[in-house]
Structure 1
Amino acid sequence: MTEDAIARFAAQSRDDLGFLLLAAADAVVAATLAEVAAQGHPDVRRVHVPVFAHVDATGTTISTLAERAGVSRQAMTGVVRELERLGYAATAPDPADRRALRVTLTPLGAGYCDAATAVSRRLTDRWADRLGADAVDLLRTQLRGLAAGTPD
């Protein structure tokens, strides 16, 4: 019974939309990180990406970063501390709540964002060359729709 359930799950997973989306996202992130590492940011790892993706230009509290990334505050604190140690982020007391820490990016962190943006554009251009610009635009539109909610 257990073995059958595991086998059915594994078979379904190969074509499951959620698994395919996760695998595609993992591949894109890995390719981006590899190219950005070659441009001078070898210490940035996958676990750091949510900080860059969710921090506001004026700074964001660790609690808000954690909520946006879907992780615990404790986990986000560890990631932020590591980025701080690497020189990509800085923390200071939040002016609105002195008990909270506000995270901002340093010039090195902003440089990572610029490099990652350029790499992302190049990767997107490669996909457009391979699949066609219209197909990439359609895929982007469809993914936005999926990200907005689940089908009824």
Structure 2
Amino acid sequence: MFDEELRRFSAGARDDLGFLLLAAADDVVAATLAEVAAQGYPEIRRVHVPVFVHLDPDGTTISALAERAGVTRQAMTGVVRELEGLGYVVTAPDPGDRRARRVTLTGHGAEYCRAATQVSERLTDRWREELGDEAVDRLRDQLRGLTTGLPAPR
């Protein structure tokens, strides 16, 4: 009934910039998680990454983490509980609002962050070898421009 529309949509999606950016991001995250898992962090999953990305050094409320990650507070609470059970973060009442829970990194969580950063740097080095320094720097600048809504530097 709508075969033509679906066929055109599918064909267009293969070259759609948004789709390609998402696919590239998925590949990078999967490669990073696989390498970090091999280093002793196999329990970390893609859903956990936003907690580490959005966590402030002095801790962050679950509500703030949820807002930054673009998920519900309930969803973030579940992810934080999981990471707390695995020993990567701890929660405590927020000093400014006793109803809120403040999430902070543990030593084990810091070790994971260190390992993930090293893996990310190695992946970037591989891209630099394949694409060249200038291309990687330009791509980073262009992606920053796209994500902030600012024009990319030229």
Q: Shorter-chain-normalised TM-score: which range? A: over 0.9
Partner of 1:94: 94
Q: TM-score, normalised by structure 1?
A: 0.96
Q: Which amino acid aligns with 1:48?
A: H
The separation in 2 between residues aligned to 1:150 and 1:12, in whole angstroms, is 26
The separation in 1 between residues aligned to 2:148 and 2:135, in whole angstroms, is 20
How many residues matched? 151
- Check if 1:122 corresponds to 2:117: no
Once the 2 structures are TM-superposed, how far is the Cα of residue 2 of structure 1 from its aligned partner? 2.1
Q: Map 1:3-152 onto structure 2 (within 5 A).
A: 3-149=3-149
The separation in 1 between residues aligned to 2:51 and 2:64, in whole angstroms, is 10
Per-residue Cα deviation, 1:44-77 (whole angstroms, up to 9, x for no partner): 0000000000000000000000000000000000
The separation in 2 between residues aligned to 1:124 and 1:149, in whole angstroms, is 24
Query: Aligned-residue CA RMSD in angstroms?
Result: 1.2
The separation in 2 between residues aligned to 1:43 and 1:80, in whole angstroms, is 13
Moved more, 71-80 or 141-150: 141-150
The separation in 2 between residues aligned to 1:70 and 1:19, in whole angstroms, is 19
Q: TM-score, normalised by structure 2?
A: 0.95
Q: Which amino acid aligns with 1:140?
A: R
SS in 1 for 2:14: helix
Using the aligned pairs only, state the percent identity: 74
Per-residue Cα deviation, 1:102-123 (whole angstroms, up to 9, x for no partner): 0011111111100000110000
SS in 1 for 2:30: helix
Once the 2 structures are TM-superposed, how far is the Cα of residue 9 of structure 1 from its aligned partner? 1.1
Q: Which amino acid aligns with 2:128?
A: A
Q: Which amino acid aligns with 2:15?
A: D
SS in 2 for 1:31: helix
The separation in 2 between residues aligned to 1:150 and 1:128, in whole angstroms, is 25
Q: For structure 2, which runs of at least 5 residues remain unmatched after alignment?
A: none
Q: Which amino acid aligns with 1:116?
A: A
Once the 2 structures are TM-superposed, how far is the Cα of residue 150 of structure 1 from its aligned partner? 7.9
Q: Which amino acid aligns with 2:101?
A: L
